[in-house]
Amino acid sequence: DAGVIQSPRHEVTEMGQEVTLRCKPISGHDYLFWYRQTMMRGLELLIYFNNNVPIDDSGMPEDRFSAKMPNASFSTLKIQPSEPRDSAVYFCASTEAGGPSNEQFFGPGTRLTVL
Amino acid sequence: GQSLEQPSEVTAVEGAIVQINCTYQTSGFYGLSWYQQHDGGAPTFLSYNALDGLEETGRFSSFLSRSDSYGYLLLQELQMKDSASYFCAGTMDSNYQLIWGAGTKLIIKP
């Protein structure tokens, strides 16, 4: 298996622009998580899905952030409009319900810089 | 609220043993996980304790005591490649969501 796939790996954009981050979870995994990581705030859970349905989006910082999972193999995180404080590494992770260890498999991350 | 506390930084010598502690305050606690993250990389799973006691995986071991709301990660025969940040994370209830500690940066000196 290729693991969790994220694109793009790096994104540099200007304030006010729309940013779309993409994630393909591991096939067969029914949970998908979006995280944001910064030096100041550490690793923050933004939203997670179970069987494509959003379960908890309480970590989404503002209405500028939205996430979708139209099918089991694809999810997007969109920021519109983007702001410099959104600069961070965004990780997508997936896991399989009922696994012995609840291990979350992380993608390589998208490093977002908003100028 | 739910929180996990761990030291921000630990320094050790190559070849030595180091223990990274994690204490938690939460309800509905199911188990404790540990993840490793190298600079510029993604977190990767190391271990999971659902029951009290010690779990060993090669040079790494993880311990959990529910009565003390405490766990630790033990790294033996330290190698320079073990220099990384280590996160403890709690599984709460049965929803597979993880509550993350702030991470411990492990610095290894030759």
Closest-CA residue to A23 (of A49, A44, A42) = A49
β-pairing verdict for A110-114 and A10-13: parallel
What are the pLDDT tens digits along chain A (115 aa)? 689 999 999 999 999 999 999 999 999 999 999 999 999 889 999 999 999 999 999 999 889 999 999 999 999 999 999 999 999 999 999 999 877 778 999 999 999 999 9
Mean pLDDT, chain A, rounded, equals 94
pLDDT value, residue B1: 67
The Cα–Cα gap between A50 and A95 comes to 10
Percent of chain A exceeding pLDDT 90 equals 87
CB contact under 8 A, A106 and B103: no
Partner-chain contact B95 A55, CB within 8 Å: yes
pLDDT at A1: 66
CB-CB under 8 Å, A109 with B45: no
Section B32-57 average pLDDT: 95
Spell out which residues of chain A touch residue B5, defining contact as CB-CB under 8 Å: none
Tell me what percent of the residues of chain B surpass a pLDDT of 70. 96
For B10-42, the pLDDT digits (tens) are 999 999 999 999 999 877 788 999 999 999 999
B42 vs A contacts (CB less than 8 Å): 91, 106-109
Nearest CA among A47, A114, A46, A40 for reference residue A82: A114
- What φ, ψ does residue B82 adopt, rounded to 5°? -80, -5
- Which residue is associated with the tokens 């005591």? B65
Residue B43: is the preceding peptide bond cis (ω within 30°)? no
